[in-house]
Amino acid sequence: MKQLIVFPTSQLVRQYKRDMLKNEKGVTGELPVTYEFFVDRCIDEIAAPFTFIGDFKKNLLLQHIFSRLIKQLRYFKSASPGYCFKIGEIIGELKREDMSPAEFRDLVKNTPKNQDIYTIYSAYQKLLKKNRLIDREDRHILCKNYIDKSRFVASYDSICFKEFYNFSTIQKKIIRNLGHKAEICDTKMGFNVNKITVVHALDRKTEAWNLAHTILDDLNNGLLPEEICIVLRNRELYLPYIYEAFKEAGIPVETQLTAPLIQNPFIKSLFAMSKGELGIYFDKQINVDDNLFECYGYWASVMLEYLEMMGFPQKFIQIHEGNVFLIKRDVEAFECLKELLQDFKEVEALAGKGHIDFDGFLKRFAGFVKNGNYSGYPPEKGIWLLSFTMLRGLKFKKAYVLGMIEGEFPRAYRPDWLLREEERALINDNGYDIDVIKTLFEREKESFYYLLSGCGEAYFSYPEVQESGSPTLISSYLEDLIHSDVDCEKYRVSFSEVFCIDIGKSFKSLQGVLCDEKTKDKIERYFNWYRFSITALNTYGQCPYKFFLARVLNLTPDIDETEFTALDRGIVSHKILEEFFKNHKQSLLAQDIEVYEREIDQIAESVMAEMTNEDAFLHPKIYEIEKQSIVQQIKTYIGNHIKSQGDFVPYLLEYDFGFDEDFFIIFGNKKVKLCGKIDRIDINPEGKIAVFDYKNSYNPGIEEVCDGTNFQMPIYIIAAQKLLQRPVVGGAFIPLKKGSVDNIIVRDRELPFVSKRKRKGILDEKQWHELLNLAIQKIASYVENIQDANFPIQPKKCPKIDKYSGFCDFTKVCPWEGE
Ligand code: SF4
């Protein structure tokens, strides 16, 4: 009997073949295949007249359809790429259910949203049909319709679907149409894990480095790479760290590592060039007529010609001076970009022309590039890196799982905003099986069972904080496991315990010092009238090259605007304190502390509700924890403030300078425009003032003024003195985590907030003026260097030298490797 085994994933096919060879059975008879391969073979006789379109083209088509229909739509008012992707997802879901546009329309309520989905879905289907195109889901529908006539299927007596555990609606229909030939065979799941290790790590980077150490030890102790696997839910967040740590440890990891296209330096430079910023990739601007309105295909051709004229991709060899890794990375990104531009041209030929100016085209194009990925890392053979769903049916001696936090695994599923839960339930009442929250959670739990069933031992780790600085909660699945009978070892690890890196590589000291006269001239003109913020000057002091990347090239980190970040936390804390002190311009009374605390609770409640989005938190509990933590810090501070306020009372809150009216410091015959915002200025009955700045994380000290890496306090003092025409007697930072004044710069040791034990930061008149002059001189020299286009890679603070000495968004694009 001739049987074909079909597995849902390529990993199962490979493990099956490997086991056959290991057991010396040899792979005889028919080789097993993946489900996708099976579908392709079933339709290859009838799919020939059709052209397959991938997800990018699908979304581009939808964008065109969307724009064309926008006047007819009732719910959507614009055709933004975000809406197009969402509609594309819903259409994919409906097609996987084998549901036509008309069937969808007849099942759901007649709301503007559903009407729009129907209108776009049916226009999309018509367009595919007219142009003989098929998308990913159409392949499965074709397979279902044709499978009973397929010659490929006819050549087998039976088709065995192994280790699927769950089938989608379209898969069920395909199996049903196979009739008696179809067999379903799943290995029974059981609880096979007998030992777990649980690691509580500082952050994700620490998790990755600890994992590298652990795997290295396990391999040295006899485990083989094919006997273990790494499991990740949040690949994008972990891959760069894993790649870095495993490269250092010399452990090969097998993954088709991809990186967001928009983060590639060549792609970033292309978009920067379009805003007039030139650099090593693009030293000439693209020549376009700003008033010209043309079709998308026209602008795509203009871009392609420009890239060719600039000498890409050969130019990468010269730019990267033979560094094969960087050349390969950029060539991959270039090819991807070229393909996207070609797709623009092709889609327009199918869906009709739209007219747009170059700026508009770039914006649209950037929207699509943002969702594109490229192979940013060279592929390697090694330990498998899998997702939870890919684990189904696989067997390993040990699995290593990172990111076991609530909200990520299990995911905090939220109802879909476009096709709502009640509509989904309505669809399912009519025999479909579209995702609803309940099934998503069931599937999540099931994928955890794949792990517990397929591995003898498991290593789990989770980060203490997220990228935003928010605390995390351990995954409830892991917590249940810890409290079960299984043998469990737990430990905590910090970054300094696991980080080790060879920093012996050289760098070019001249990198960042620009020589091209035209560029220098442009930079000088630009920074001549520039209004310097304190952050900008501090950045130059910490690393001139970082200033260049951030303020000259205007590179920005990718920020997920939907997440609650450390910045949001700072804004919320500042707002609560501002609101509180607005109500209390007199001294606070110790006996009223409970009243103040209740007031802080109320202010925090309304500020959090107004300024944050509860959905930005992984879990509602984390929102509550975050709120309570902010409130607690502020209460602690107010308690301490009552003790140290003396006769000072709040005078000005959130006092900004240099915005409405220019504020200068003058050196020689030059003026430097400065701006900033002082969190709070207090005043005493003699009219003396003190400036305060709330800090959420890092709290700079006087030594940083001296080494030129933080000018905040001296500039605040100079500005307050000059603009308010009152004597400033001191300034201090208020680290909210600590809840009391710290790192002071004062010229009067009797000030009420100055502890009697303090020495640092208490200056006599001479030292006070010397310090302020030193700050002015340093600022002057920085501004001169900036205007002279000197941005050498000479960091005073850099996370590559010392993880705890500074933060930098550009560690991945910066070539500095330490001295
Ligand atoms: S990584 Fe270090 S050297 Fe490079 S820009 Fe950032 S701070 Fe400067």
> What is the atom index within ligand 1 of the atom nearest the CA of 544?
8
Residue nearest to ligand 1 atom 2, measured at CA = 798
In the block, tokens 């531009």 appear at 341
Alpha carbon of 811 to ligand 1 centroid (Å): 6
Report yes or no: 264 and 316 within 8 Å, Cβ to Cβ. Answer: no
Whole-angstrom CA distances from 451 to 185, 191, 438 are: 19, 9, 21
Pocket of ligand 1 (CB under 6 A): 543, 545-546, 549, 793, 795, 798, 800, 808, 810-811, 814, 816
Q: Pick from 501, 816, 819 the residue to mutate for probing ligand 1's pocket: most ligand atoms within 8 Å of its CB.
A: 816
pLDDT at 567: 67
Alpha carbon of 554 to ligand 1 centroid (Å): 15
Report yes or no: 815 and 571 within 8 Å, Cβ to Cβ. Answer: no
Report yes or no: 420 and 112 within 8 Å, Cβ to Cβ. Answer: no
Task: Map residue 169 onto helix, strand or coil.
Answer: helix
> What is the atom index within ligand 1 of the atom nearest the CA of 814?
4
Alpha carbon of 409 to ligand 1 centroid (Å): 33
Residue 502: pLDDT band (50, 70, 90) is very low
> What is the atom index within ligand 1 of the atom nearest the CA of 810?
6
Residue 505: pLDDT band (50, 70, 90) is very low
Residue 256: pLDDT band (50, 70, 90) is low
Alpha carbon of 235 to ligand 1 centroid (Å): 25
Whole-angstrom CA distances from 44 to 48, 187, 516 are: 6, 31, 57
Taking alpha carbons only, the member of 66, 39, 70 closest to residue 134 is: 39
> What is the atom index within ligand 1 of the atom nearest the CA of 793?
3
250, with CB counted inside 10 A (0-12, 13-18, 19+), is exposed
CATH 3.40.50.300 in the chain, residues?
Answer: 3-49+141-185, 195-256+381-498
pLDDT at 243: 80
End-to-end CA distance of the chain: 68
Distance between CA atoms of residues 331 and 315, nearest Å: 10
The matching CATH number, chosen from 3.40.50.300, 3.40.47.10, 3.30.70.1380, 1.10.150.20, for 3-49+141-185 is 3.40.50.300
Residue nearest to ligand 1 atom 1, measured at CA = 811
Alpha carbon of 242 to ligand 1 centroid (Å): 21
Please determine, for residue 805, whether its predicted confidence score (pLDDT) is greater than 70. no
Report yes or no: 702 and 771 within 8 Å, Cβ to Cβ. Answer: yes
Positive or negative: CA dihedral 566, 569, 575, 578: negative
The gap from C-alpha 264 to its chain's centroid, in whole angstroms, comes to 14
Q: Pick from 810, 812, 817 the residue to mutate for probing ligand 1's pocket: most ligand atoms within 8 Å of its CB.
A: 810
Report yes or no: 254 and 381 within 8 Å, Cβ to Cβ. Answer: yes
Residue nearest to ligand 1 atom 7, measured at CA = 798
Distance between CA atoms of residues 493 and 512, nearest Å: 37
| Mean pLDDT of the 510-526 span | 77
Q: Give the highest mean pLDDT range of 108-117, 525-534, 803-812.
A: 108-117
Distance between CA atoms of residues 264 and 262, nearest Å: 6
Residue 31: pLDDT band (50, 70, 90) is confident
H or E segment and range at residue 199 = strand 195-201
What rounded mean pLDDT belongs to the chain? Answer: 86
Whole-angstrom CA distances from 260 to 373, 444, 533, 554, 791 are: 4, 26, 31, 18, 27
In the block, tokens 């010209």 appear at 292
> What is the atom index within ligand 1 of the atom nearest the CA of 801?
2
Q: Give the highest mean pLDDT range of 30-34, 473-477, 568-572.
A: 473-477
Task: Map residue 732 onto helix, strand or coil.
Answer: strand
Please determine, for residue 506, whether its predicted confidence score (pLDDT) is greater than 50. no
> What is the atom index within ligand 1 of the atom nearest the CA of 815?
4
Residue 507: pLDDT band (50, 70, 90) is very low
At 733-763, the pLDDT tens digits run 998 888 888 888 999 888 998 887 777 888 9
The matching CATH number, chosen from 3.90.1150.10, 3.40.50.300, 2.60.40.1220, 1.10.3720.10, for 195-256+381-498 is 3.40.50.300
**Structure-model confidence comparison of residues 789 and 263, the more confident one:** 789
Alpha carbon of 819 to ligand 1 centroid (Å): 12
Alpha carbon of 816 to ligand 1 centroid (Å): 7
